[in-house]
Protein backbone atom coordinates (compact mmCIF):
# COMPACT_ATOMS: atom_id res chain seq x y z
CA UNK A 1 0.00 0.00 0.00
CA UNK A 2 1.15 3.51 -0.76
CA UNK A 3 0.63 6.21 1.88
CA UNK A 4 0.79 9.98 1.50
CA UNK A 5 0.86 12.54 4.31
CA UNK A 6 -0.22 16.10 3.52
CA UNK A 7 1.99 18.89 4.87
CA UNK A 8 1.02 22.55 4.77
CA UNK A 9 2.65 25.02 7.11
CA UNK A 10 1.87 24.97 10.82
CA UNK A 11 1.30 21.21 11.14
CA UNK A 12 2.04 19.51 14.45
CA UNK A 13 5.49 18.00 13.95
CA UNK A 14 4.97 15.17 16.44
CA UNK A 15 1.90 13.98 14.58
CA UNK A 16 3.48 14.25 11.14
CA UNK A 17 6.90 12.81 11.91
CA UNK A 18 5.69 10.02 14.21
CA UNK A 19 3.58 8.67 11.36
CA UNK A 20 6.39 8.99 8.80
CA UNK A 21 9.01 7.50 11.13
CA UNK A 22 6.92 4.57 12.36
CA UNK A 23 5.64 3.63 8.89
CA UNK A 24 9.14 3.75 7.42
CA UNK A 25 10.39 1.55 10.30
CA UNK A 26 7.71 -0.91 9.21
CA UNK A 27 8.93 -0.71 5.57
CA UNK A 28 5.71 0.98 4.48
CA UNK A 29 6.12 3.45 1.64
CA UNK A 30 4.98 6.94 2.68
CA UNK A 31 5.41 10.18 0.75
CA UNK A 32 5.48 13.55 2.45
CA UNK A 33 3.33 15.74 0.18
CA UNK A 34 3.65 19.52 0.35
CA UNK A 35 0.42 21.43 -0.26
CA UNK A 36 2.26 24.79 -0.26
CA UNK A 37 3.71 24.70 -3.78
CA UNK A 38 7.20 24.50 -2.26
CA UNK A 39 9.12 21.42 -1.12
CA UNK A 40 10.11 23.14 2.12
CA UNK A 41 7.38 23.15 4.75
CA UNK A 42 7.42 24.56 8.27
CA UNK A 43 5.90 22.92 11.30
CA UNK A 44 4.06 24.74 14.07
CA UNK A 45 7.20 24.77 16.22
CA UNK A 46 9.47 26.09 13.47
CA UNK A 47 10.91 22.74 12.43
CA UNK A 48 11.41 22.75 8.65
CA UNK A 49 10.68 19.56 6.76
CA UNK A 50 11.44 18.98 3.10
CA UNK A 51 8.59 17.15 1.39
CA UNK A 52 9.13 14.33 -1.10
CA UNK A 53 6.60 15.57 -3.65
CA UNK A 54 4.25 18.48 -4.35
CA UNK A 55 0.47 18.15 -4.22
CA UNK A 56 0.15 19.35 -7.81
CA UNK A 57 2.33 16.43 -8.95
CA UNK A 58 0.12 13.65 -7.59
CA UNK A 59 -3.07 12.04 -8.83
CA UNK A 60 -6.07 11.23 -6.67
CA UNK A 61 -5.51 7.51 -7.23
CA UNK A 62 -1.79 7.45 -6.31
CA UNK A 63 -2.39 6.61 -2.63
CA UNK A 64 -4.22 3.90 -0.73
CA UNK A 65 -4.08 5.99 2.46
CA UNK A 66 -4.02 9.78 2.84
CA UNK A 67 -2.90 11.07 6.25
CA UNK A 68 -3.59 14.57 7.60
CA UNK A 69 -1.62 15.75 10.64
CA UNK A 70 -3.02 18.30 13.05
CA UNK A 71 -1.75 21.56 14.39
CA UNK A 72 -4.42 24.24 14.16
CA UNK A 73 -2.67 26.38 11.53
CA UNK A 74 -1.83 23.37 9.40
CA UNK A 75 -5.33 21.91 9.77
CA UNK A 76 -6.91 25.19 8.70
CA UNK A 77 -4.58 25.28 5.71
CA UNK A 78 -5.70 21.76 4.73
CA UNK A 79 -9.38 22.62 5.22
CA UNK A 80 -8.97 25.81 3.18
CA UNK A 81 -7.42 24.11 0.15
CA UNK A 82 -9.87 23.21 -2.60
CA UNK A 83 -7.32 20.75 -4.00
CA UNK A 84 -6.99 18.98 -0.64
CA UNK A 85 -10.77 18.86 -0.23
CA UNK A 86 -11.19 17.32 -3.69
CA UNK A 87 -8.43 14.79 -2.92
CA UNK A 88 -10.09 13.77 0.36
CA UNK A 89 -13.51 13.51 -1.29
CA UNK A 90 -12.07 11.36 -4.08
CA UNK A 91 -10.24 9.17 -1.56
CA UNK A 92 -13.41 8.69 0.48
CA UNK A 93 -15.66 8.04 -2.51
CA UNK A 94 -13.25 5.49 -4.02
CA UNK A 95 -13.06 3.51 -0.76
CA UNK A 96 -9.47 4.49 0.00
CA UNK A 97 -8.41 5.19 3.56
CA UNK A 98 -8.12 8.59 5.23
CA UNK A 99 -6.33 9.02 8.57
CA UNK A 100 -6.74 12.34 10.40
CA UNK A 101 -5.40 13.36 13.79
CA UNK A 102 -5.93 16.25 16.21
CA UNK A 103 -7.40 19.32 14.48
CA UNK A 104 -7.03 17.94 10.95
CA UNK A 105 -10.54 16.46 10.89
CA UNK A 106 -11.41 20.10 10.13
CA UNK A 107 -10.54 19.06 6.56
CA UNK A 108 -12.96 16.12 6.85
CA UNK A 109 -15.62 18.60 7.96
CA UNK A 110 -14.87 20.88 5.00
CA UNK A 111 -15.03 17.88 2.65
CA UNK A 112 -18.44 16.78 3.98
CA UNK A 113 -16.99 13.53 5.32
CA UNK A 114 -17.07 14.07 9.10
CA UNK A 115 -20.86 13.88 9.33
CA UNK A 116 -20.81 10.42 7.71
CA UNK A 117 -18.29 8.76 10.03
CA UNK A 118 -17.56 7.74 13.59
CA UNK A 119 -14.50 9.65 14.71
CA UNK A 120 -12.57 11.68 17.24
CA UNK A 121 -10.42 14.82 17.29
CA UNK A 122 -8.60 17.28 19.54
CA UNK A 123 -10.79 17.81 22.65
CA UNK A 124 -13.32 20.59 22.25
CA UNK A 125 -13.35 20.78 18.45
CA UNK A 126 -16.23 18.31 18.30
CA UNK A 127 -18.46 20.86 20.02
CA UNK A 128 -18.57 23.61 17.41
CA UNK A 129 -16.12 22.88 14.60
CA UNK A 130 -16.24 19.20 13.64
CA UNK A 131 -19.59 17.43 13.45
CA UNK A 132 -19.04 13.69 13.33
CA UNK A 133 -21.92 11.33 12.62
CA UNK A 134 -20.88 9.70 15.89
CA UNK A 135 -18.21 11.18 18.16
CA UNK A 136 -16.09 9.02 20.47
CA UNK A 137 -13.53 10.06 23.08
CA UNK A 138 -11.27 7.09 22.33
CA UNK A 139 -7.58 7.79 21.68
CA UNK A 140 -7.89 6.28 18.20
CA UNK A 141 -11.13 5.56 16.35
CA UNK A 142 -11.02 3.20 13.36
CA UNK A 143 -14.24 3.46 11.38
CA UNK A 144 -13.78 0.34 9.27
CA UNK A 145 -17.08 0.79 7.45
CA UNK A 146 -16.03 4.19 6.07
CA UNK A 147 -12.24 3.57 5.91
CA UNK A 148 -11.35 6.47 8.21
CA UNK A 149 -9.00 6.49 11.20
CA UNK A 150 -9.00 9.47 13.57
CA UNK A 151 -7.09 10.32 16.73
CA UNK A 152 -6.93 13.00 19.45
CA UNK A 153 -3.55 14.77 19.36
CA UNK A 154 0.23 14.73 19.83
CA UNK A 155 0.30 12.25 22.73
CA UNK A 156 -1.86 9.79 20.76
CA UNK A 157 0.27 9.96 17.59
CA UNK A 158 2.10 6.77 18.63
CA UNK A 159 -1.15 4.78 18.71
CA UNK A 160 -2.43 6.48 15.55
CA UNK A 161 0.72 5.40 13.68
CA UNK A 162 0.53 1.87 15.12
CA UNK A 163 -3.10 1.60 13.97
CA UNK A 164 -1.97 2.51 10.46
CA UNK A 165 0.78 -0.12 10.60
CA UNK A 166 -1.74 -2.74 11.73
CA UNK A 167 -4.07 -1.80 8.89
CA UNK A 168 -1.38 -1.86 6.20
CA UNK A 169 1.14 -4.48 7.33
CA UNK A 170 -0.82 -6.58 9.80
CA UNK A 171 -0.94 -7.13 13.53
CA UNK A 172 2.39 -8.96 13.73
CA UNK A 173 4.26 -6.03 12.16
CA UNK A 174 2.38 -3.58 14.39
CA UNK A 175 3.45 -5.55 17.46
CA UNK A 176 7.04 -5.85 16.20
CA UNK A 177 7.30 -2.07 15.81
CA UNK A 178 5.61 -1.44 19.17
CA UNK A 179 8.00 -3.88 20.88
CA UNK A 180 11.03 -2.30 19.23
CA UNK A 181 9.94 1.13 20.45
CA UNK A 182 9.38 -0.21 24.00
CA UNK A 183 5.67 0.68 23.95
CA UNK A 184 4.66 -2.38 26.03
CA UNK A 185 7.36 -1.54 28.60
CA UNK A 186 6.13 2.04 28.91
CA UNK A 187 2.51 0.93 29.16
CA UNK A 188 3.25 -1.67 31.85
CA UNK A 189 5.36 0.80 33.83
CA UNK A 190 2.64 3.45 33.71
CA UNK A 191 0.01 0.87 34.69
CA UNK A 192 2.16 -0.43 37.57
CA UNK A 193 2.62 3.12 38.90
CA UNK A 194 -1.12 3.89 38.97
Give per-residue pLDDT as tens, 48-87.
Answer: 999 999 999 999 899 999 999 999 999 999 999 999 999 9
Q: Determine whether 102 is an active site residue.
A: yes
**Domain count of the fold of the chain:** 1
The structure's pTM equals 0.97
Task: Give me the sheet containing 53-54, strands edge to edge.
Answer: 53-54, 29-34, 2-7, 65-68, 97-101, 148-151, 140-143
DSSP secondary-structure letter at 175? H
Q: How many CB atoms lie within 10 A of CB 134?
A: 12
Distance, CA of 33 to CA of 174 (rounded, Å)? 24
Question: Taking a C-beta distance cutoff of 8 angstroms, is the pair 53, 87 a contact?
Answer: no
CATH number for the domain harbouring residue 70: 3.40.50.880
Residue from 5, 84, 102, 168 carrying the catalytic annotation = 102
Domain that holds residue 33: 2-192
Model confidence pLDDT, tens digit, residues 112-121: 999 999 999 9
User: How far apart, in whole angstroms, are the C-alpha atoms of residue 108 and residue 157?
Assistant: 18
Amino acid sequence: MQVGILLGNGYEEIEALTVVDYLRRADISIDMISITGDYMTMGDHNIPIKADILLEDISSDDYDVIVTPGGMSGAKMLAGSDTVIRLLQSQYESGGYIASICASPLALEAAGIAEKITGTCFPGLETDDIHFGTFKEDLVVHDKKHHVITSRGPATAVYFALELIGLIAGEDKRQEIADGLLIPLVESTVKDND
